[in-house]
Amino acid sequence: MSEHIASKPGAWDGEPRPLFLAPMAGVSDLPFRLLAKACGADVTITEFTNSTALTREAAVSWRKMESHETEIPFIPQIFGGDPGDMATAAEMLAPTADIIDLNFGCPAPKVTKICAGAALMGEPDNLVSMVDGIIQRVDVPVTAKMRLGTGQGANNALEICKELENIGTARLCVHGRTLRQRYSGEADWLAIKGVVDAVETPVVANGDVVDAASAKDCLEVTGASGLMIGRGAIGRPSVFGEIKVGLGWMEHDDLPWVKANSEDWYEKSPVAQSFAARRWCWDKYIEFSHETAGLQPRWMQRHAVAFTKGLPGAKKIRAVMHGAPTPEDFADGISSFLAGKTAE
C-alpha cells in the first residue's frame, strides 16, 4: 500500500477518516484546493482533465495539472475514451504525481459522448482493460472514481470494483448515483456499502455529504474508508472543518476563521459568523492565488458568486463583480463586502 493510501479500516467507530475534495470542473483549481486543505480537507484532487488534450500538450489542460509543494499528496485526475491516450497522459503525469486518479463518474454529455467518464461503466471490460493498461505503465498508485452504473439495467459498480481490485487499483471512490440520475434523487449509500463489504481495497463514499450530520450518517451506513465532498464544498470550503468539529475530530476554537476572529467570535450573530468565515476563506483564496497561478478573473468570478450566495446583500455585490476595473479591485471588493458584515 502507498504511503498516501491507508489500508482498508474496519467498521467505523467514530474515529477520524479522511475527507476528500472532489475533482470538480471549474471549481477545484489549485488555489481552491490549497484553500480546502487549509479548511480541513485531507486530500485534494485536480479538476478532471481530458487525457487527449494532455497528450497534445494543450496549455489550458496542463495548467489544471499544476500543483504546489504543500499539496501532498498531489493527485491529478484524467478522463478519456481512448486507452492509449489515457495511458500516455498517465505516463506524462507520473513523474510529479503521488497518485493518478481515473474518472469513470462524470455524467456530463460532452464527456459521455466520447464514451468517457460514467459512460465507460456501460463497457466494463473496456474500463477494466483501460485501468490495467495504465497500471502497467506507471510506477505510482492508480485510483478510480465511478458511479453505481449507467442506470440502464442493473448496477455494476460492485462487479467492476472487484475486477479493479484484482488488477491492483489502489483505492476506489463510488458516487451513490447512476449516470442516468446525474445529480437527481438521493445517493444510495447502501449500494456503496455493498461495494465496501465486497472488496479489501479502500473505498471512499461520495454523494450527499454536506455537513457533519450527513457525514456521520454516511460513515455509519457505508463503513467507507473516507468521504468525498463535491457540491457541498462549492462556496463553502469551511465544510471540511465544520464536519471535523461536528464529529469531534477537531476543536471548534482551532478552526482558522474562528482563530482569526477570536476576540469577538462568540459575540457575533450567526449571520455575522457566516460573513466572517467566508471572508477568511475568500482572503485565503486570493492569497493562494498570488502564491500560485496569480489572480485569474474567470476563477475568481466563479468562486465569488459561490462564496456570496445566500448572504444578505449578495445581489448588490454583483455590480462590484462586473464593474471592477482590475482583478485586484475585484478581490478587494468582495473582501470589503464580507468585512462590512463581520461587525454585525
278-292 pLDDT, tens digit each: 999 999 999 999 999
Q: What does residue 169 show for φ and ψ, rounded to 5 degrees? A: -65, 130
Q: Quote the pLDDT of residue 316.
A: 80
d(CA 13, CA 52): 43
Q: Is the pLDDT of residue 38 over 80?
A: yes
Residues 43-52 have a mean pLDDT of 97
d(CA 106, CA 316): 34
Residues 221-240 have a mean pLDDT of 98
pLDDT, the chain, mean: 95
CA distances from 54 to 91, 161, 184, 215, 343 (A): 11, 27, 31, 35, 47
Confidence label for 343 from pLDDT (cuts 50, 70 and 90): very low
Q: For the chain, give every residue range classified as CATH 3.20.20.70.
A: 19-250
Q: Write out the H or E segment, with its range, that includes residue 104.
A: strand 100-104
Q: Is the pLDDT of residue 1 over 90?
A: no
Q: Which long-range contacts (CB under 8 A, 24 or more apart) does 54-62 make?
A: 54/78, 54/85, 54/89, 54/92, 54/93, 55/85, 55/88, 55/89, 55/92
Q: Is the pLDDT of residue 214 over 60?
A: yes
Residue with cell 445529480: 183
Confidence label for 300 from pLDDT (cuts 50, 70 and 90): very high
Q: Are the CB atoms for 48 and 54 separated by under 8 Å? A: no
Residue 189 has a CB neighbour count (10 Å cut-off) of 23
Q: Using DSSP, state whether 21 is helix, strand or coil.
A: strand
Q: Is the pLDDT of residue 342 over 70?
A: no
> How much of the chain, in percent, has pLDDT values that exceed 90?
92
Q: Using DSSP, state whether 315 is helix, strand or coil.
A: helix
Is the model more confident about 210 or about 324? 210
Q: Quote the pLDDT of residue 322.
A: 82
Q: Quote the pLDDT of residue 321.
A: 82
Q: Is the pLDDT of residue 236 over 50?
A: yes
Q: Using DSSP, state whether 269 is helix, strand or coil.
A: coil
d(CA 175, CA 228): 9
Cell of 331: 478581490
Question: Mean pLDDT lowest for which of 104-108, 302-306, 315-319?
Answer: 315-319
Quick one: which of 198, 226, 170, 169 has its CA closest to 5?
A: 170
- Report which residue type is found at 168: G
Confidence label for 317 from pLDDT (cuts 50, 70 and 90): confident
Residue 13 has a CB neighbour count (10 Å cut-off) of 8
Give pTM, 2 decimals.
0.95
Q: What does residue 65 show for φ and ψ, rounded to 5 degrees? A: -95, 0
Alpha helices (runs of H) in the chain, residue ranges in sequence order? 30-39, 51-55, 59-63, 83-93, 109-112, 124-137, 157-166, 189-198, 212-222, 239-246, 256-260, 270-291, 297-308, 314-323, 327-339
Residues 79-105 have a mean pLDDT of 98
Confidence label for 344 from pLDDT (cuts 50, 70 and 90): very low
d(CA 80, CA 126): 12
> How much of the chain, in percent, has pLDDT values that exceed 70?
99
Residues 258-277 have a mean pLDDT of 95
Cell of 92: 506524462
Q: In angstroms, what is the C-alpha Rg of the chain?
A: 20
Q: Is the pLDDT of residue 35 over 90?
A: yes
> Which distant-in-sequence residues (6+ apart) come within 8 Å of 53 by Cβ?
60, 61
Q: Which residues are annotated as catalytic?
A: 106
Q: Quote the pLDDT of residue 314.
A: 85
d(CA 5, CA 2): 5
CATH number of 19-250: 3.20.20.70
d(CA 299, CA 289): 10
